[in-house]
Amino acid sequence: MTPEFVALSEKNKQAALQNIYPHHMGRSGYVLSIPKWKEQGLLNQFLTGSEVDSTNSSTTTSGDIPRHVTWFCARSGLTSDGHIVFPGNTEGMREKKEKLDKLQEDVAAGTWKPSGRHDILTEVVGKPDYPGRARGVGGGVGYTHVFDRESRSTHRDKVGNLSDVDLKQLQERLMKDMQHYFVPRSEVSIGDSMPASEAARVDTMNSAAPHLTKTFIDGASCKLAVESHTHPGDKSLDFVAMVIAYNTPVGSLIHNVPMCENTIKVNICMAYREFEDCPLLYPNEAADMNVVKEVVGSYVQWPSHLVFLGRGTTV
| pTM value surpassing 0.75 | no
- What value does the mean pLDDT take over residues 280-300? 81
Residue 209 pLDDT > 50, yes or no?
no
For residue range 94-125, what is the model confidence (pLDDT) as tens digits? Answer: 999 999 999 999 999 999 998 878 899 999 99
Coil vs helix vs strand at 224: strand
CB 168 within 8 A of CB 242: no
The strand ranges marked E within 50-105 are 77-78, 84-85
CB 125 within 8 A of CB 96: yes
Residue 68 pLDDT > 60, yes or no?
yes
- Better-predicted residue by pLDDT, 12 or 298: 298
Between the CA of residue 298 and those of 5, 41, 275, 295, what are the distances in Å?
A: 27, 36, 17, 5
For residue range 27-63, what is the model confidence (pLDDT) as tens digits? Answer: 677 888 888 999 999 999 999 877 766 555 554 445 5
Question: What secondary structure letter does DSSP report for 42?
Answer: T
CB 224 within 8 A of CB 278: no
Between the CA of residue 31 and those of 74, 129, 138, 143, what are the distances in Å?
A: 11, 19, 7, 16
- Better-predicted residue by pLDDT, 11 or 47: 47
- What value does the mean pLDDT take over residues 257-278? 87
Residue 213 pLDDT > 50, yes or no?
no
- Better-predicted residue by pLDDT, 72 or 295: 72
* pLDDT at residue 211 in the model: 40
Residue burial 251-267, b: 16+ Cβ < 10 Å; e: rest:
eeebbbbbbeeebbbbb
Q: Residue 175, class by beta-carbon neighbours within 10 Å (0-12 exposed, 13-18 middle, 19+ buried)? A: middle
